[in-house]
Structure 1
Amino acid sequence: MIEILVTIIGLVIGSFLNVCIYRIPRKESIVFPSSHCPACGRQLTFFDLIPIVSYIFLLGRCRSCQAKISARYPLVELLTGIVFLFLYLKYGYSITFMFITIMMAVMIVVFFIDLDHLIIPDKLVIFASIIAGLMVVYNFFTPLAVYGDSSWWNPLLGALIGSGSLLLVALLGSVLFKTDEAMGGGDIKLMFPVGLVLGWRLTLLTLFLAIMIAGLYGLILLALKKTSRKSSIPFGPFIVLAFLIASIWGYQIIYWYLGVY
């Protein structure tokens, strides 16, 4: 079945995303050298790199030095496989599926890098913007259903709303609260390709969902006394979660809201 193939491809790509998540913040090449144990440096073989399966059979440890392997590796692989499957079930084998799947792969890398290092590398935003730009060009000649209409300016307005809204938050934070931490520059830049890919309708939904999820997460941390009001929480992961939700269930949510209200 094609669904199984898509999931397997997602698992394999998830393995590569692990490399990106580890190396990009360290400014290392994602191509050379080949995958190796970060503890002992031993080059990994094919049997060490089978998504999820290798982790299980190796009991979560390096075959050579027995160093513990983070459970995040199979988690990212599994997550990517599941996300690819859901996107396929939503869009089928289409050009929209190809564009959004590539974009989502980048977003998964953004999620974990921002979570770990509180940064969104420019090279990821640039790559995402290139993919989004190609999608906009394609839409100009052949309108894509993801935008909700055939207007050529729809994705451009989405990018303006996405980045512009967060830029406004940053400016207001700087003026009213005398802080540069109201919104990170990486988040502002990330919303540019997000807006291009989703169009203005789903971009508005993405912003709303990201703010709501981030607010709920912050309240939970405060209630558990795991953070303080002055602590910084990366916003990028919430943009990624909101992007995923909007990509798959966006219009269902919008129609539900309009139907209720």
Structure 2
Amino acid sequence: MVEIFYYTYVIIVGLLIGSFLNVCICRIPKGESIVTPSSHCVKCDHKLKWFELIPVFSYLFLKGKCRKCGEKISLRYALVEMLTALIFVILFHKYGIEKIGDFIAAAFFMSVMIVVFFIDLEHMIIPNGVVVTGIIGGMAAGIYSAFINPLEIYGDDKWWNPFLGAVIGFGVLLLIALLGYLVYRTEDVMGGGDIKIFAPIGLFLGWKMALMTFFISVILAGIVSVILILLKIKDRKSGIPFGPFIVAGTFLTYLFGWDLLNWYIERVFG
């Protein structure tokens, strides 16, 4: 019964945070405040009542339309809420109540990364404000790990691990961007947002798992890009945002990063 209570609580929190993430995804690219004004219909400016703000259920109750003007509500709102709850549940299943610090750190950062995923997918940008939020949270995670309880994802109890991760994560992508510019004479090899987001990734995951995130992200991007080209959805000159692959790579690293690294070391050096 206690375990059911924990999971139910995590789902509810995930849905509520997902609702807030929708506000961030919608307003941040426009340069609008995520605090004011209160939630409203983007077409008729109808201020939403409390029963119109219940995650997922309000969308279903309203049949995906504004109660006042009938404007369609994007399915993305419900998807973000459900995705956030699902990610929270998976992370909680991995860490459990015994490693609540690990869970909170991972859940916070994946919330930031969900915002990155949808903004970059639609606008092909990773706003500086989102990166800064990740950096502040990552520094807090590093301090927690150093003085209270080491986070499992770092793989050790060295206080400098996350800070080295930020330097290496940011530095590796910056180096790739510089080399790409020198070889191809274009700035399109690596976006500025993609480079900057690896600073908080390094802070939250440590230097080894930051590199693992990069490798997984590149592999995912390569596979999906080839599929899209073969299906003629994209061509070789089409721009494909790298951010969503970084987000997916980060989540997979949380779940399997150390297992993949140990498997690789055993195969190559064992």
Give the TM-score taking structure 1 as reference length.
0.96
SS in structure 2 at match of 1:123: helix
From 111, 114, 125, the equivalent of 1:119 is: 125
Indicate whether 1:170 and 2:174 are aligned.
no
Amino acid at match of 1:117: H
C-alpha distance after superposition, 1:23-69 (max 9, x if no partner): 00001111111000111110011111111111111111111111111
Indicate whether 1:152 and 2:159 are aligned.
yes
SS in structure 1 at match of 2:138: helix
The residue aligned with 1:236 is 243
Indicate whether 1:67 and 2:71 are aligned.
yes
Q: Distance in 1 between matches of 2:16 and 2:112?
A: 15
Amino acid at match of 1:25: P
The residue aligned with 1:99 is 105
Q: Distance in 2 between matches of 1:215 and 1:157?
A: 27
From 241, 244, 256, the equivalent of 1:249 is: 256
The residue aligned with 2:213 is 206
SS in structure 2 at match of 1:69: coil
C-alpha distance after superposition, 1:153-208 (max 9, x if no partner): 22122222211111111101110000001001111110001011101221121001
Indicate whether 1:186 and 2:190 are aligned.
no
SS in structure 2 at match of 1:37: coil
SS in structure 1 at match of 2:133: helix
> Which runs of no fewer than 5 residues in structure 2 stay unpaired?
none
Q: How many residues align?
A: 261
Amino acid at match of 2:142: V
Displacement of 1:87: 1.1
Q: Distance in 2 between matches of 1:144 and 1:40?
A: 47
SS in structure 1 at match of 2:82: helix
> Which runs of no fewer than 5 residues in structure 1 stay unpaired?
none
Indicate whether 1:3 and 2:33 are aligned.
no
Indicate whether 1:139 and 2:129 are aligned.
no
The residue aligned with 2:229 is 222
Higher mean C-alpha displacement, 148-157 vs 62-71: 148-157
C-alpha distance after superposition, 1:116-158 (max 9, x if no partner): 1111110110111001011112222242222111222221222
Amino acid at match of 1:172: L
From 73, 89, 92, the equivalent of 1:88 is: 92
Q: Distance in 1 between matches of 2:189 and 2:179?
A: 8
C-alpha distance after superposition, 1:97-127 (max 9, x if no partner): 1122111111100110111111111011011
Amino acid at match of 2:50: F
RMSD: 1.2
Amino acid at match of 1:116: E
Q: Distance in 2 between matches of 1:203 and 1:232?
A: 24
Q: Distance in 2 between matches of 1:217 and 1:41?
A: 39
Give the TM-score taking structure 2 as reference length.
0.93
Q: Between the two proteins, what is the percent identity of the paired residues?
A: 51
Q: Distance in 2 between matches of 1:80 and 1:260?
A: 35
Amino acid at match of 1:152: W
